[in-house]
Structure formats: C-alpha cells, structure tokens
C-alpha cells in the first residue's frame, strides 16, 4: 500500500502533530524521517496534552507502530526521558517504538557547540533550538558521526568517539576556550543508556518495506517545515535537514513510487521562531492579538513566535517543492479575532513583482508584500463541525487560499482537538476506511 507524507508548508509549528494524530487512526506505522528534538509536536486528546519531540505523533493509538527513521538525529537522554514520560501515561512506548540503527546520535559536544556557535555569532545568530541539531548533521555529512547502532558495540563506540573527540576538543579549547571533553565520561554516560534502548533498535527499512508489502499503510511525519529546509528554505536561517517531501524518501528509505499522497500542513496565517526573513511579519496590536489568541509560543523552547499574514507566495513555492495532493489548513479559528484579513499574493522589490518565490535571498529579505484584503467573520467557529456551516466569509477565505496556493484544502482545523476538524473532501488515506 502506498505511503502518505505529512509536511510543514511554512516555517514549522503548522500543526503537524495534530494532523498526524488525527490521520494516524487509519494508518499502521508513523515514521519520523528527519530532524530531532528541535521539533515540538502537540497532540491533544480529550483533556490530555502531549508534547512530542522525537516520538512520532501516532503513539496515541495502540494499533500504530511509531518509527524513528534513518534520517533523524537522536539524543539518547532525551528519547529516554520522553519514553519514560509516555510510559507513565500508560502508552507502552518501550514495547512499541522502533529506532533505526542508522539514525545519528546527538553527542554532548554537539549541544555544547550549538550553544557556542550561536553565542559567537552574536547579533547574527540563527536562533537555533540549541539541541545540537546543526553540529550533529554536520558530523554526519563529514562522516565522523556516531550512530544509534554504535551504542550497542562498546569497542566501536569508543573508537569512533575518540576519533571524533580529537577534532572536537581542539575546536572547544582553541576556538572557544573551553575545557576538553572526556571520552571516558561520555562513553560511560552513553553506553549506560544502551541497555534500556536496545529493545528499540530495529532495521526500520525492512520494517517499512515488509509493512508496505503486507498491505499496511504508513504516514511519514515531517518535522520543521519547507521554508526551514536546508536546500529549499531561507538559507542560512534554516535547520540542518530536509523537511520537504523529498527528505521523507531519503530519511525513511523509500522511493517516489511508494508514496501517493503528500499533505501540506499550513496555518491560516504564518509564524516563525528564530531569526530570518519573514515578508508578511506583523508588529503592534494585530501581532499581539494573533500571538495571544493563537497561543504562539514555541512547544520546544517556549520562545514567542513571530506572526504574520498568510503568504501565498510561500504557499505556492511549498506546493512546488513538495507536490501537495492536499492541504490541511490549521488555526482558522485564530482569525475570528479580526475585522479584516490580509493575504499576501505577491512580493514587490525594486519595481519588480514576484508571484513566485524569488531566486535571490536579498529579495526575500527586502520584499514588500502585495496584499489583498478580505472581510473577517468575527464569529467563534471553534464549535462548527461541518465546513458548510462556517460563515460565508470564512469559506471565502479558505477557498481563496486554496486558489492562490493551487492545491486543494481537504481539512480545515478550527481548534487543537481532534473533533475540531472539518473535512471538505472525503478522500480517505486508506481506501475503504
Ligand atoms: P507542529 O510542530 O507542526 O506539530 O505544531 P505545534 O504543536 O508546535 O504548534 C501548533 C499549536 O497549535 C499546538 O499548540 C496545537 O495544539 C495548536 N493547534 C493545532 N491546530 C489548531 C487549530 O486549528 N486551532 C488552534 N487554536 N490551535 C491549533
Ligand atoms: P516543529 O517540528 C519551528 C527553527 C529554529 C531556528 C532554526 C534552526 O515543531 O515544527 P535548529 O535547532 O533546528 O538548528 O534551529 O529552525 N526550528 C523550528 N521552528 N518549529 C520547529 O519544529 C523547529 N525546529 C527548528 O527556531 O530558527
Ligand atoms: Mg512545533
């Protein structure tokens, strides 16, 4: 059976956790394919709130196997903390979660370097989550990373660690004036995690493919978002992995023919955490209301998210680089606040108009948004259960976004709960469900 990719269409925090959880009811496996615990995916079930960082959002369903794929970077201490938390809540994560042996490890020097590099950048800092993500992916690309499988072979673990530490300690002491790290201390800590993590070690590529061959369905759950993609985002203000749909293939070990659905998750406005260009960014009273009404504070770092009007240039671009079959539009309820809404349909820069994402970073930094104004609906829509029962202005807004993004909006979310989701087109992920 073909797989479905769930990908953030903006700068992260679009509601991927909510969408994945909702759709996972009909699936068998939920696979995280990139990123690490820089992600924070919120799932709300009844009165219970789950903030997931590494564990896939399918964990709430007993029939789903949550998988951490090859492309993810894993901090063993964090993953154990998250597993323990979910264990206390009765979800049996130790018996269910599978981790690829090829996933790279986040080491203590990655976390330390993430902090030091940011500090050294001063005003030019990226505003990373300080979880060691960039340094861990850099080591992977430089072929000096340690992988999840290495935790279970002490000799190899120590060998690789000592080799890596030669360079890391030079960097820490010579550039950053820090004390060198001890291989023995790190080995003791990390190898100490191995026993509890061993049951999770899995050949996830084999698991994914035997599952597909047996007719099971898979959701590939993205972290971050398209504009944070290392290749396609607003570089250098990006993360160090590939959240886009192509990254799902490499990160899980699939080919394009294994996937038949790519669902773009997009807020009805835009947010961003950390530094970088943001053409439709707002400040003042409107921003304040959007932030407060939308609860726009980071799930991982608690930082206040920057907010702005919906940007159709970004949406069109995200559709191009991911090839969306559907959009899952979230947080429409947050816009009930406003008398009128603005939608950015193009950018203007030095007398030129750009309907598509500009090719040069400077243009994105200085782009003036060209806005269309639409009437608001000024009614609470959080209890609406059918799309047709939304106020006409809300439907007109959704339909305009759909037209501008050039991808069909299949789901409209009007609150964080599963029940607060309106289905516009009944196209089940798994035929017959
Ligand atoms: P993710 O990283 O893409 O999974 O998104 P986050 O969980 O970091 O941030 C999305 C936030 O919006 C979470 O607090 C969700 O509970 C919440 N949320 C999701 N969908 C909706 C919605 O339609 N309306 C409202 N008001 N909140 C939503
Ligand atoms: P989810 O999966 C929003 C941002 C950081 C920073 C940049 C690089 O919850 O949508 P990193 O620590 O990855 O090196 O930081 O990326 N960032 C996110 N922003 N949501 C996320 O994840 C993010 N993960 C990283 O704020 O600007
Ligand atoms: Mg998030």
User: Mean of the pLDDT values across residues 161-177?
Assistant: 97
Q: Can you give the pLDDT at residue 428?
A: 86
**Residue 353: its H or E element:** strand 352-354
Cβ burial of 36 (10 Å; 0-12, 13-18, 19+) is: buried
Is the pLDDT assigned to residue 209 strictly greater than 80? yes
Return the percent helix, strand and coil in the chain, to nearest 5. Answer: 40, 20, 35
> Ligand 2 pocket, 56 CB below 6 A?
no
Which is the closest atom of ligand 1 to the Cα of 294? 26
Which is the closest atom of ligand 2 to the Cα of 41? 9
Phi, psi of 327 (to 5 degrees): -115, 145
Ligand nearest to the CA of 15: 1
Q: Can you give the pLDDT at residue 45?
A: 93
Are 46 and 85 within 8 A, CB to CB?
no
> Ligand 1 pocket, 65 CB below 6 A?
no
What positions carry a catalytic annotation?
Answer: 13, 41
Question: What residues pair up with 43 in beta bridges, in sequence order?
Answer: 50
Which residues neighbour 125 within 8 Å (Cβ) at sequence distance 6 or greater? 118, 119, 275
Q: Can you give the pLDDT at residue 298?
A: 87
The residue among 43, 70, 38 whose CA lies nearest residue 53 is 38
Supply the angle between the helices 312-322 and 392-405 in degrees, to the nearest 10: 50
Which is the closest atom of ligand 1 to the Cα of 57? 4
> Ligand 1 pocket, 413 CB below 6 A?
yes
CA distances 74 to 66, 101, 110, 283, 414, Å, are 14, 10, 12, 36, 33
Instruction: Calculate how far, in angstroms, residue 368's C-alpha sits from the geometric centre of ligand 3.
Output: 27
User: Mean of the pLDDT values across residues 266-283?
Assistant: 97
Which residues neighbour 109 within 8 Å (Cβ) at sequence distance 6 or greater? 135, 164, 165, 168, 172, 181
Instruction: Calculate how far, in angstroms, residue 299's C-alpha sits from the geometric centre of ligand 3.
Output: 5
Are 286 and 32 within 8 A, CB to CB?
no
Kindly report the protein residue whose alpha carbon is nearest to atom 13 of ligand 2. 239
Instruction: Calculate how far, in angstroms, residue 18's C-alpha sits from the geometric centre of ligand 1.
Output: 6
User: Mean of the pLDDT values across residues 61-78?
Assistant: 98
Is the pLDDT assigned to residue 299 strictly greater than 90? no
- In this prediction, residue 179 has a pLDDT band, given cuts at 50, 70 and 90, of very high
Altogether, the residues listed in the chain come to a count of 433
Q: Can you give the pLDDT at residue 426?
A: 86
The distance in angstroms from the start CA to the end CA of the chain is: 13
The per-residue pLDDT for range 308-340, each reduced to its tens digit, is 999 999 999 999 999 999 999 999 999 999 999
> Ligand 1 pocket, 225 CB below 6 A?
no
d(CA 54, CA 75): 9
Is the pLDDT assigned to residue 431 strictly greater than 80? no
Cβ burial of 403 (10 Å; 0-12, 13-18, 19+) is: exposed
d(CA 60, CA 45): 8
User: Mean of the pLDDT values across residues 373-378?
Assistant: 98
Are 17 and 42 within 8 A, CB to CB?
yes
Q: Can you give the pLDDT at residue 433?
A: 72
- In this prediction, residue 396 has a pLDDT band, given cuts at 50, 70 and 90, of very high
Quick one: DSSP state of residue 379?
S
Question: How does the average pLDDT of the chain come out, rounded?
Answer: 97
Is the pLDDT assigned to residue 192 strictly greater than 90? yes
Are 367 and 279 within 8 A, CB to CB?
yes
Kindly report the protein residue whose alpha carbon is nearest to atom 10 of ligand 1. 15
- In this prediction, residue 5 has a pLDDT band, given cuts at 50, 70 and 90, of very high
> Ligand 2 pocket, 128 CB below 6 A?
yes
3-state secondary structure 268-313: CCEEECCCCCCCCECCHHHHHHHHHHHCCECCCCCCECEEECEEHH
The per-residue pLDDT for range 15-47, each reduced to its tens digit, is 999 999 999 999 999 999 999 999 999 999 999
Is the pLDDT assigned to residue 432 strictly greater than 80? no
Q: Can you give the pLDDT at residue 274?
A: 93
Question: What residues pair up with 50 in beta bridges, in sequence order?
Answer: 43
Is the pLDDT assigned to residue 223 strictly greater than 80? yes
Strands in 9-100 per DSSP E: 29-32, 41-45, 48-52, 65-68, 73-74, 98-100
What pTM was estimated for this model as a whole? 0.97
Q: Can you give the pLDDT at residue 163?
A: 97
Instruction: Calculate how far, in angstroms, residue 367's C-alpha sits from the geometric centre of ligand 1.
Output: 28
> Ligand 1 pocket, 71 CB below 6 A?
no
> Ligand 2 pocket, 273 CB below 6 A?
yes
| Residue to mutate (ligand 1; options 40, 42, 298, 423; most atoms within 8 A of CB) | 42
User: Mean of the pLDDT values across residues 245-261?
Assistant: 97
d(CA 425, CA 95): 36
Which is the closest atom of ligand 2 to the Cα of 133? 14
The per-residue pLDDT for range 119-152, each reduced to its tens digit, is 999 999 999 999 999 999 999 999 999 999 999 9
Question: What residues pair up with 52 in beta bridges, in sequence order?
Answer: 41
Is the pLDDT assigned to residue 300 strictly greater than 90? no
Is the pLDDT assigned to residue 198 strictly greater than 90? yes
3-state secondary structure 114-172: HHHHHHHHHHHCCCCCCCCHHHHHHHHHCCCCCEHHHHHCHHHHHHHHHHHHHHHHHHH
């Amino acid at each position: 059976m073909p797989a479905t990719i769930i990908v953030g269409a903006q700068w992260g925090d679009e509601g991927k956790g909510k969408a994945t959880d909702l759709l996972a009811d009909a699936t068998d496996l939920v696979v995280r394919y990139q990123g690490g615990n820089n992600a924070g995916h919120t799932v709300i079930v009844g009165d219970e709130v789950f903030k997931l960082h590494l564990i896939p959002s399918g964990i709430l369903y007993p029939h789903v196997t949550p998988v951490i794929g090859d492309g993810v970077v894993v901090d063993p201490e964090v993953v154990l903390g998250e597993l323990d938390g979910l264990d206390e809540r009765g979800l049996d994560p130790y018996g269910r979660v599978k981790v690829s042996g090829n996933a790279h490890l986040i080491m203590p020097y990655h976390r330390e370097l993430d902090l030091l590099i940011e500090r050294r950048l001063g005003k030019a800092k990226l505003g990373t989550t300080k979880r060691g993500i960039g340094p861990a992916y850099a080591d992977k690309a430089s072929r000096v990373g340690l992988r999840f499988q290495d935790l279970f072979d002490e000799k190899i673990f120590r060998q690789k660690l000592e080799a890596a530490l030669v360079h890391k300690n030079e960097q820490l002491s010579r550039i950053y004036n820090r004390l060198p790290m001890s291989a023995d201390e790190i080995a003791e800590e990390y190898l100490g995690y191995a026993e509890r993590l061993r049951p999770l070690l899995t050949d996830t590529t084999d698991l994914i493919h035997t599952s597909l061959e047996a007719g099971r369905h898979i959701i590939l759950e993205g972290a971050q978002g398209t504009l944070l993609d290392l290749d396609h985002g607003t570089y250098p203000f990006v993360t160090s992995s590939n959240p886009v749909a192509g990254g799902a293939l490499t990160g899980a070990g699939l080919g394009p023919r294994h996937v038949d659905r790519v669902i773009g998750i997009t807020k009805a406005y835009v947010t961003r955490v950390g530094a970088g260009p943001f053409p439709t960014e707002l400040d003042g009273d409107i921003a304040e209301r959007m932030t407060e009404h939308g609860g726009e504070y980071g799930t991982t770092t608690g930082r206040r998210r920057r907010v702005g009007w919906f940007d159709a240039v970004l949406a069109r671009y995200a559709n191009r680089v991911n090839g969306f079959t559907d959009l899952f539009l979230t947080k429409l309820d947050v816009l009930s606040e406003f008398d009128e809404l603005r939608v950015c349909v193009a950018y203007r820069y030095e007398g030129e108009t750009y309907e598509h994402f500009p090719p040069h970073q400077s243009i994105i930094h200085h782009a003036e948004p060209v806005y269309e104004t639409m009437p608001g609906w000024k009614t609470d829509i959080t209890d609406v259960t059918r799309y047709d029962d939304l106020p006409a202005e809300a439907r007109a807004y959704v339909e305009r976004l759909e037209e501008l993004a050039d991808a069909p909006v299949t789901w409209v979310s009007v609150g964080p709960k599963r029940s607060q989701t309106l289905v516009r087109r009944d196209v089940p992920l798994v035929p017959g469900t």
